[in-house]
Amino acid sequence: MMGTLLAFLSPGPPEMIIILVIAVLLFGKRLPEVARSLGRSMVEFKKGVRGIEDEIRSAADVPSVDAPVHEPAEEREDATAPKFEPPPAEPKPEAGDTSPETPAGVES
């Protein structure tokens, strides 16, 4: 099934002749130059893809530098939670005291 689909989509000899005639009409004397530059660009594209593939392979083979290094269990300190210390109690202002800490007109 797949082979017949590819054979259906690929151009045959008459279609190739039509494409060649159109290319000669469009590019004329510059056709060899255009073909050469097209070939060079394809080679550069393949080199770029190959370079990216090599980088991906090398990155997959080498362990990450940022990976944490684990210490052996004997050398680690036991984790402890911080102790809770309640805040110190604030002194209660007296009824006649209008200190800057208590706004005027507010009674406790």
Per the listing, tokens 């990450």 go with 64
DSSP 90: P
Total-model pTM: 0.38
Question: Any idea of the CA torsion for 43, 46, 47, 49, to the nearest 10 degrees?
Answer: 160
pLDDT at 64 over 70: no
- Pick from 53, 56, 55, 57: nearest CA to 45: 53
| Residue-range domain boundaries for the chain | 30-61
Alpha helices in the chain (DSSP H): 2-9, 13-27, 31-61
What residues contact residue 98 under an 8 Å CB cut-off, 6+ apart? 104
| Confidence tier at 13 by pLDDT (50, 70, 90) | confident
* Average confidence (pLDDT) over 85-94: 75
pLDDT at 102 over 60: no
